[in-house]
Amino acid sequence: MKVFLKLFVVLFVFGMTSCRDTKAEDAETEAAVQQIETMQEETEALTEEIDNEAAELEATLSELDSL
């Protein structure tokens, strides 16, 4: 009888820990992924803007050199 009681307690504890709610963790992970993707998009936009400004500056410098 003690063996069955111990087995029941172990199975009960195992069942309680394995059936926990992971929706909050999934939502947290999704929010973090969205934040990272947003930051990547902003970084790409800033990189393009910097590249465009650098090209404009190079063109201006080349015009000044030709004078």
How would residue 25 be classed by pLDDT, with cut points 50, 70 and 90? confident
Q: What is the DSSP letter of 19?
A: T
3-state secondary structure of 16: helix
Per-residue pLDDT at 21 exceeds 70: no
Task: Provide the residue type at 46 as one letter.
Answer: L
- The two tokens of residue 52 are 């465009």
The backbone region for 7, taken as left when phi is positive above 0, alpha when psi lies in -120 to 50, beta otherwise, is alpha
How would residue 44 be classed by pLDDT, with cut points 50, 70 and 90? very high
Q: For residue 39, what pLDDT is reported? A: 97
